[in-house]
Amino acid sequence: MEMLKQEKQNNGEKVIVANAVSAIIQRVRQEGDAALKAYLRQFDGVDIEDLCVQDEDIRKAQSQLPQTLIEDLQFSVERIQAFAEAQRRSLTEFEQEMIPGVFLGQRVIPIETVGAYVPGGRYPLLSSAQMAIIPAKVAGVSNVKVCTPPTKTGEVHPAVLVAAHLSGADEIYRVGGAQAIAALAYGTESITPVNKITGPGNMFVTEAKRQVHGHVGIDLLAGPSEVMVVADQFANPVYVASDLLAQAEHDVNARVALVTTDRDLGVAVLREIDEQLKTLPTAEVARVSWERKGQVFLADTLEEAISIVNEWAPEHLHVQTINAYDIKDRFLNYGSLFLGDLSSVVYADKVCGTNHILPTSAAAKYTGGVWVGTFLKVVTYQLIKPEGVDVLAPHCVRQSSQEGLIGHLRSANIRWSGNLDIQ
């Protein structure tokens, strides 16, 4: 393997972010709404008295949007909802008599209340609202609270607000950043705490989710964005370059990488990226991301390329080889897989129906992305009748005796009609 372009490292950044986030969380826990309003002034440059979005704000936002955009939002809501409903149908409850007198069952119960974080930052991410809210509502979550940063006017971007409303949000708050995660986790005067937090965000949001995890559940540590493209000599360098830059424009810390088995293709993509950056309106962000985080791997064989992918474990994996579909099962670690040069990541980012809140930083080695099951608890129950006790108790009594757990032994033994003379 050879590196045609390497990532620049900045290991001290993580410590700085972790300390800053810890201080923000502590202040929100101590001061509640007052801290949120202070951070709105400090980070967003706005004074907001009422953190909660009201119905008239939603009506105003809808009136500001062109009908075509509202129709586009409704289309993507329908696609995401349809896929989430298909996923929900795959999860079933059951009860089965496993041995005579021993009935075991499974229930699927929705989480009661969820916090959905919708990023603001440089761009109004309409689809992030849909990806965080719709699967939760399909799962049956009764209350979804949305936190999203306000614009410089102190209002939520109208398209983001309408997207959240159409997706089924129950409450929407004008607050973003690590302070929003703290509010959702611990509560303030305006925001009651939730059971689980979902949604992508920048490094501060992601670090805040990491720090509150355990007090509340989280979906995963998602962000900043990542994409890895696997390409052979048949790939189109224009497509590959555009796919890398599409993710690079998200954030200066986005990670984008190409793994290719063809040197000429790798060199052509490097040239094409330089050309596309000349005319890309978001080049100010994308260029920094590419220069700092961009990588190009030249693999000796397809097998080595696949090994690089499985070790990198990218959020988005786009396979642009002549046999992409045939080799899909050889890739093991990724958030979402895109097969063939027409299967652009941006289709899933926006409208095709699969979820774009996906694991980053190699978390794809142990988890998938957000789905309807993220908002469901699969729990078990037992019903044991006398004939079942007669089968289970002897084993349980002997094992408890061996472990020295006499309270366990007695609890099992007292119910058994053929109880041993073991006290």
**Quick check: is 54 in a domain?**
yes
Residue 336 lies in domain? 224-368
Does position 15 have pLDDT exceeding 80, yes or no? Answer: yes
Q: Which of 218, 246, 269 is the last residue of a domain?
A: 218
My answer on whether 171 and 202 are in the same domain is yes
Could you tell me what percent of the chain has a pLDDT over 70?
97
Q: Tell me: pLDDT of 4 over 90.
A: no
6, part of any domain: no
More confident residue, 147 or 203: 147
Domain-located, residue 4 = no
Q: What are phi and psi of 228, to 5 degrees?
A: -130, 125
pTM of structure = 0.92
- pLDDT in the model for residue 202: 84
Query: Of the given ranges (30-39, 62-71, 122-131, 188-197), which has the lowest mean pLDDT?
Result: 122-131
Residues in the chain: 423
**What band does 190 get if pLDDT is binned at 50, 70 and 90?**
very high
Using the predicted structure, report yes or no on whether residue 423 has a pLDDT greater than 70.
no
* 373: in domain: no
Q: Are residues 199 and 310 in the same domain?
A: no
Cβ atoms of 377 and 217 closer than 8 Å: no
* 39 and 137 fall within a common domain: yes
Cβ neighbors of 176 (< 8 A, separation 6 or more) are 43, 44, 117, 119, 120, 147, 148, 149, 150, 205
pLDDT digits (tens, 9 = 90+) for 42-99: 999 999 999 999 999 999 999 999 999 999 999 999 999 999 999 999 999 999 999 9
Residue 235 shares a structural domain with residue 295:
yes
Q: Are residues 199 and 69 in the same domain?
A: yes
Instruction: Say whether pLDDT at 9 is over 80.
Output: no
Same domain, 313 and 422: no
Residue labelled with tokens 């040197």: 263
Quote the number of domains for the chain. Answer: 3
The answer to whether residue 344 sits within a structural domain is yes
Q: Do 205 and 274 reside in the same domain of the chain? A: no
> What is the rounded CA–CA span in Å between residue 279 and residue 330?
37
Per the annotation, the verdict on 250 as an active-site residue is no
Is the peptide bond prior to 100 cis by the omega test (within 30 degrees of 0)?
no
Q: Is 316 a catalytic residue?
A: yes
Give the position of tokens 């032994």. 409
Does residue 84 share a domain with residue 40?
A: yes
Write down the pLDDT at residue 201: 84
Ranges 60-74, 264-278, 408-422: which has the least confidence: 408-422
Cα angle for residues 167, 242, 327 (degrees, 5° grid):
85
Domain boundary among 175, 202, 218: 218
| Residue range 201-225: mean pLDDT, rounded | 92
Higher pLDDT, 7 or 76: 76
Helix (H) or strand (E) holding 146: strand 143-148
DSSP states of 370-417:
--GGGGEEEEEEEEE-HHHHHHHHHHHHHHHHHHT-HHHHHHHHTT-T
Do residues 213 and 260 both lie within one domain? no
Looking at residue 11, what is its pLDDT?
Answer: 63
Q: What CATH number has the domain bearing residue 65?
A: 3.40.50.1980
pLDDT at 12 over 90: no
Which is it for strands 217-218 and 196-198: parallel, antiparallel or unpaired? parallel
Number of separate helices (H) and strands (E) present in the chain: 15, 14
Among 102-106, 218-222, 334-338, where is mean pLDDT lowest?
Answer: 218-222
Q: What is the pLDDT of residues 358-372, one digit of tens each?
A: 999 999 999 999 999
Residue 183 lies in a domain: yes
Task: Answer whether residue 3 is part of any domain.
Answer: no
Residues 253 and 321 in one domain: yes
228 and 214, same structural domain?
Answer: no
> Predicted confidence band at 121 (pLDDT cuts at 50, 70, 90)?
low
- Mean pLDDT across the chain: 95
Mean pLDDT of 376-381: 98
Q: Are residues 96 and 40 in the same domain?
A: yes
Domain-terminating residue out of 218, 240, 260: 218
The active-site residue out of 250, 316, 318, 356 is 316
**pLDDT at residue 149 tops 90:** yes
How confident is the model at residue 122, as a pLDDT?
Answer: 66
What value does the mean pLDDT take over residues 236-259? Answer: 96
Establish if 94 belongs to a structural domain. Answer: yes
Average pLDDT (337-364) is 95
Question: In degrees rounded to 5, what are phi and psi of residue 390?
Answer: -65, -30
Catalytic site residue from 315, 318, 403, 408: 315
pLDDT band at 10 (very low <50, low <70, confident <90, very high): low
Higher pLDDT: 8 or 316? It is 316
Token pair for residue 66? 């062109």
**Average pLDDT in the 292-304 region?**
97
